[in-house]
Structure 1
Amino acid sequence: MDKVQSTKKVRERVVISLLIGVILVSSVFVFPVTAQPTVGGSIVIALSAEPMNVDPLTGSWNGGFVGGQLFESLLKFQNDLSIAPNLASSWSVDPVQGTYTFKLRNDVKWSDGQPFTSQDVKFSFENILSKYDVFGSFYFANSTVSTPDNYTAILKPGVFLQGIQLQLLASGNGVIYPKHILEGQDFLKSSFRTTNPVGTGPYIMKQWVAGQFIELVRNPYYWDKPKPYIDKITIKFISDPAAIIAGLKSGEINYVVPEGIPYEAVSSFKQISTLNVTLSQRPPYVGAIWFNVRAPIVSDVNVRRAISYALNRSDIIAKATAGIAASGQASIDPNFVPPSPNMVVYNYDIEKANSILDAAGYKRSANGTRFTLELLVPNSQPELVSLAQLVRSQLADVGISVSVKLTDFGTYLTLSGQGDFQMFGVTYWTSPIWTYSLFHSRWIGKGIFLNPTQYSNPQLDELLEKWLRTSDHDEQVKVLQQVEDIISQDVPVVVLYQINWVYVRSNFIQGPDIPDGKYVFVDSLANEYIVSTTTPSTGQIFPIEYLVVVVVAVVVIAAVWFVAMKRKKSTAK
């Protein structure tokens, strides 16, 4: 009887050992661990347009992307769009004094090895941002900075606008510049903005070969060790969508800043196991038609409303964006400002569009046409070209003849900046920061993309001024909902869809910063890293150390079995 019990115990131990081994082995394969960041490797990124410079303050998407790797701001946006420390280790706000106090990190160096101090902050706000930045020249005009010590900076803007200034301080429009390099230089003519930048960011520019590529390498002085993880980033300028598609498929291109991805290529990308395809509405952009509200015919709000009813947005989304864009008519980021129930929604209604035009006195001629409008679009953006053709076709159904004017991108910007258009096909950023510049009358005639519709409404101006001076988030949302309501009634813009950006990268690139878009495309890739093997659907890998665990587990199981069998035989004797 004792021998039987002993045998049973041995068998139980063997079974338990085997179960433990099975669990150990299966856990490796069923629950693979996420790759840990390591330093090394290189990637190739495609930009569909070569930047004029790499200075983020200009507001260009392509130059801003490169600049985002070279320069940094005092604060930064996190993935949930909350604001966190960056070059400043902490900050405080004094609404009574109208100041921002920053305690600076004491371990930061410029990419030439010189120390970063409060003098650089003072120089940047008093000499660069307040004069040349697309937003800072207004929001930080007449700023002064006091510097009690090398690592404390107290910023006092000419006008204290906490609601918007904190966002800019965390953005590419708040980058800090090196005093020891730029003092005494003509900033706008300086090679600092092109081939000789010096920043505190994770990368430095090794070379810029005009018309071909920019090469970035790790900044050896970067303060946030061990970042950045990727050794080298080569940014190639490739305007041909077919070449970008071919490069992604072949592996010669590893990532494309989304402006260069044609919608029709998405389905084929999803079939390639070596690519990761992600759709994201960050940064928030829309596809739209802008009206010059001072131009003949479209100066009539009835015409603008009729056009908004006459456009079949679902058809445009299906055909111009391959069904990828999202429906929506909000002109302000709906993730920040949920549309109010008072916002006018223009559902497709041909009968209503015709009725509005008839009532406004626009009768059809013998050939069925009421009037002709010109629609300006750039020939370099296939999405907008397709959109224009669809708009022309759909408006013909209500007797509006549309002449599509295709121009190169430079001419497109010039004409729009001069107000030389009736309708203007565009994709634009819907951040509240941009809303103020797009629709407040003070920006009319001030430059490209600054109230290009020449729209003016005193009530809306008053609301936007109130928003500027409000620091409470909930109150800001309420004010901006009223702004949205007025825009929907006056129709200086017809929003056709919310853009879903297409982010395509090689599977071996991992990290939290793709998709980017926390602030336009001015996000660094400091947190991205390269892994040797990935699982496309999860981005997980099986490191060699875990294979070793499997082997050890098998050896242990075999040893336990062998010992158990020997004991069994010994007991049997």
Structure 2
Amino acid sequence: MKRISAAVALAAAGALVISGCAAGGGDSNNDDSGLVEGSSITAAWNQAFYSMNGNTSFGNATANNNINYLVLDGFNYYNNTPELVENTSFGSYEMVSEDPLTVKYTINEDAKWSDGAPVDASDLMLHWAALSRALDTPDFDPADFTDPDTGEFTEEFPTDVVYFDSGATPTSGLGLVSATPEVGDDGRSVTLTYDAPYVDWELAFATMGSMLPAHIVGKKALGIDDNEEASKAVLDAIENNDAADLAPVSAFWNSGFNFTEMPDDADLVVASGPYMISDYVADQYVTLTANPEYTGDNAPNIEEITIRFISDPLAAVQALENGEVDIIQPQATADITTALDGIDGITVDTSLGGTYEHVDLQFDQGKNPQNIFSNAKAREAFMKVIPRQEIVDTLIKPIIGDEAIVRNSQIFVPGAEGYDESVEANGSDAYADVDIEGAKALLAESGITDTSVCILYASNNPRRVNEFALIQASAAQAGFNVTDCGSEEWGGLLGTPGAYDASLFGWQSTSLGVTNSLPTFETGGINNMNFYSSAPADDVIAQLNTEFDEQKKIDLQIELDKTLWSDFYGVTIFQFPEVTAVSDRVTNVTSSILAPTVFWNAWDWQVADSGSEE
């Protein structure tokens, strides 16, 4: 029997991760729940995994973090309420002082990596060094050492610089922890002291899916075979600010965990979470197997979860109907909802999710020889030709009807407190309708002679292909020559100098923290893929980082939203409709509006009928 439910998710803006689409054990007779040997299910996702480090500008993508969430344990995570859950079976944290803000993190004694090495202060300290960048070589710019075709660092990247590619800035998050933390409790705790108050301190450090194994980094970067010695070497390098050792350590942290098939070196998939990567066939699937060293509360019921990569949403539906996959969350289209209506034996949930579609313009280092969007009039002109309402009417309303609306804020989710007030003041109404004549006049005033605009988007995503076509046709009427920079590897190309002029993709919320979307707009922030830099925006962001008053936080976000629209940052288009379809042979599957959406409680999934065919 098929069951259908609908809900509209309303939440404050949170941390953002690049979305590939709207996303996309024991048996039921065991009341105690527990691992059922030999049990397995298959889920589908639209984009292939490519990095176990989701903290870099290259690896920060939903396709990676769905899996990283299950293989890398941490101090807390969000459930599907959504509310923040402290993962006390991994460790604990406490604020020991408000002034200065001081927080102590302690790892439980029985926490281990899958190779048996203990999770300890070396892991915590490496995480701090990477996400604070407090030990980085000053003023180093990696732009000249980034491959425009892949988005990865080139072999010419200097070997003598310390550079952690986390996008941390000194005004927010762990960037505010400039002093080296204090190690305690026989190497199981670290105490962080902030330079200034930070409102979202509870979300800043080692949440689930983010902390990598220091002993593996030490082994690979420093050529040390013994786990304990490697771990100690990383810790010593950090505590002594030893640039000679920190340079290779940072280089390996940046790129060493990037892979597109099962690595020959098993060290690269060492895990601390309930699952570990056990197999990976390029462009086909990743298999996760229950981690035998895991002792936490989120012990899995199902022994093996395979995540197949199916870029075509209709193909994912077909795979579900054929029994080849059990869980899908394809990008929702009218064809998808119609196809799902014809399948029995599944549960279908529809909602508005935490992802929003948008177009960003490259303020610097675009593909156009004249760097077209460094020109404010050209940016404003292009925003006027993007057919936002037509995109919603044509592609989104057939899925969810009148719930589909144009999103008019860079900061607030429609329906959230502050959204209506911000939309009234931010200037987005200037782009409610396409204005071809206004765009022509602005383009003429700009002095730009090369009007080519190459747009980066997911070329294997049918909805994005349709959006690109609508934008291309509209822009042509105003004199823009929109060209195709679409790629299946679009996620890794975001932020790559010279690769494109505008980008069409989705940001997906990963938390409800007010500050965690700010690295998208802050100068040098990890999510700042378009080289946007604004002193007024940076000033508001700095204030938001330290503001605890709820109304003042809303007021500051409204001010930031207005600044972004007046700077012609780009346009928001719509909030994603989300469709989750689950075979009735799997139970306890629920989705969250926050990443990792349907995977948030994969350890609770159960096979309803252990005798069913796979």
Under TM normalisation by the shorter chain, which class is it? 0.7 to 0.9
Preserved CA contact (<8 Å) 2:312 2:460? no
Structure number with the higher helix fraction is 1
Instruction: State the shift of 1:472 in Å.
Output: 4.3
2:528 aligned to which of 440, 446, 450: 450
1:417 aligned to which of 487, 490, 496: 496
> CA distance change for structure 1 residues 221 and 293 in 2, over 3 Å: closer, same or farther?
closer
**SS state of the match for residue 491, structure 1?**
coil
Instruction: State the shift of 1:201 in Å.
Output: 0.9
What is aligned with 1:316?
391
Matched, 1:404 2:448: no
2:301 aligned to which of 229, 233, 249: 229
**SS state of the match for residue 342, structure 1?**
helix
Matched, 1:467 2:544: yes
Preserved CA contact (<8 Å) 2:359 2:571? yes
What is aligned with 2:460?
380
Matched, 1:84 2:166: no
**What letter corresponds to residue 389 of structure 2 in structure 1?**
S
2:505 aligned to which of 403, 415, 426: 426
Preserved CA contact (<8 Å) 2:346 2:583? yes
> CA distance change for structure 1 residues 417 and 211 in 2, over 3 Å: closer, same or farther?
closer
**SS state of the match for residue 162, structure 1?**
coil
CA–CA separation in structure 1 for the residues paired with 2:599 and 2:179: 24
1:277 aligned to which of 328, 348, 354: 348
CA–CA separation in structure 2 for the residues paired with 1:468 and 1:430: 18
Matched, 1:94 2:97: yes
Instruction: State the shift of 1:347 in Å.
Output: 6.7
Instruction: State the shift of 1:519 in Å.
Output: 5.7
**What letter corresponds to residue 47 of structure 2 in structure 1?**
A
**SS state of the match for residue 476, structure 1?**
helix
> CA distance change for structure 1 residues 159 and 468 in 2, over 3 Å: closer, same or farther?
same
Instruction: State the shift of 1:258 in Å.
Output: 4.3
Instruction: State the shift of 1:285 in Å.
Output: 2.3
Deviations along 1:339-373, one digit per CA (max 9) or x if unpaired, are 224222327766x835644764849xxxxxx9944
**What letter corresponds to residue 407 of structure 1 in structure 2?**
G
**SS state of the match for residue 479, structure 1?**
helix
**What letter corresponds to residue 464 of structure 1 in structure 2?**
I
> CA distance change for structure 1 residues 306 and 118 in 2, over 3 Å: closer, same or farther?
closer
What is aligned with 1:140?
174
Instruction: State the shift of 1:270 in Å.
Output: 3.1
**SS state of the match for residue 204, structure 2?**
helix
CA–CA separation in structure 2 for the residues paired with 1:44 and 1:78: 22
What is aligned with 1:247?
319
Q: CA RMSD in A?
A: 3.8
Deviations along 1:15-55, one digit per CA (max 9) or x if unpaired, are xxxxxxxxxxxxxxxxxx99967343311122333322323
Matched, 1:109 2:112: yes
Preserved CA contact (<8 Å) 2:495 2:528? no
**What letter corresponds to residue 380 of structure 1 in structure 2?**
N
CA–CA separation in structure 2 for the residues paired with 1:112 and 1:413: 30
Matched, 1:289 2:359: yes
TM-score by length of 1: 0.72
Matched, 1:495 2:572: yes
What is aligned with 2:48?
50
**SS state of the match for residue 500, structure 1?**
strand
TM-score by length of 2: 0.68
Bigger shift: residues 227-236 or 521-530: 521-530
**SS state of the match for residue 232, structure 1?**
strand
CA–CA separation in structure 1 for the residues paired with 2:534 and 2:131: 32
Instruction: State the shift of 1:493 in Å.
Output: 0.9
Deviations along 1:445-476, one digit per CA (max 9) or x if unpaired, are xx8x5241x33332112101111233444433
Matched, 1:122 2:110: no
Preserved CA contact (<8 Å) 1:288 1:493? yes
Bigger shift: residues 403-412 or 484-493: 403-412
Q: How does 1:246-265 map to 2 (within 5 A)?
A: 246-256=318-328, 258=330, 264-265=335-336
Instruction: State the shift of 1:240 in Å.
Output: 4.3
> CA distance change for structure 1 residues 34 and 164 in 2, over 3 Å: closer, same or farther?
farther
**What letter corresponds to residue 146 of structure 1 in structure 2?**
E
- State the number of aligned residues: 485
Higher RCO (CA < 8 A, seq sep 6+): 2
What is aligned with 1:389?
469
What is aligned with 2:33?
38
Q: How does 1:288-307 map to 2 (within 5 A)?
A: 288-293=358-363, 298-299=373-374, 301=376, 304-305=379-380, 307=382
**SS state of the match for residue 495, structure 1?**
strand
Preserved CA contact (<8 Å) 1:291 1:422? yes
Question: Structure 2: which 5+ residue stretches go unaligned?
Answer: 1-27, 134-162, 222-251, 365-369
> CA distance change for structure 1 residues 407 and 157 in 2, over 3 Å: closer, same or farther?
farther
Larger radius of gyration: 1
Preserved CA contact (<8 Å) 1:257 1:503? yes
Q: How does 1:357-368 map to 2 (within 5 A)?
A: 357=439, 360=442, 362=444
Bigger shift: residues 216-225 or 495-504: 216-225
CA–CA separation in structure 2 for the residues paired with 1:191 and 1:435: 25
What is aligned with 2:407?
328
Matched, 1:220 2:292: yes
What is aligned with 2:427?
344
What is aligned with 1:18?
none
**SS state of the match for residue 217, structure 1?**
strand
Deviations along 1:398-419, one digit per CA (max 9) or x if unpaired, are x344423143244785485215
**SS state of the match for residue 554, structure 2?**
helix
Percent identity of paired positions between Structure 1 and Structure 2: 17
CA–CA separation in structure 2 for the residues paired with 1:303 and 1:487: 16
Instruction: State the shift of 1:252 in Å.
Output: 0.7
Instruction: State the shift of 1:236 in Å.
Output: 2.3
> CA distance change for structure 1 residues 214 and 349 in 2, over 3 Å: closer, same or farther?
closer
**What letter corresponds to residue 437 of structure 1 in structure 2?**
P
Deviations along 1:117-147, one digit per CA (max 9) or x if unpaired, are 4454234434687564635586435453323
CA–CA separation in structure 1 for the residues paired with 2:539 and 2:593: 33
> CA distance change for structure 1 residues 318 and 277 in 2, over 3 Å: closer, same or farther?
farther
Deviations along 1:267-300, one digit per CA (max 9) or x if unpaired, are 2113322222223444x32222222346666555
> CA distance change for structure 1 residues 507 and 404 in 2, over 3 Å: closer, same or farther?
farther
Deviations along 1:322-342, one digit per CA (max 9) or x if unpaired, are 444543122124276632242
> CA distance change for structure 1 residues 243 and 411 in 2, over 3 Å: closer, same or farther?
closer
Preserved CA contact (<8 Å) 2:174 2:205? no
Preserved CA contact (<8 Å) 2:71 2:276? yes
Bigger shift: residues 64-73 or 203-212: 203-212
**SS state of the match for residue 169, structure 1?**
coil
CA–CA separation in structure 1 for the residues paired with 2:399 and 2:288: 36
CA–CA separation in structure 2 for the residues paired with 1:93 and 1:239: 47
Q: How does 1:541-560 map to 2 (within 5 A)?
A: none
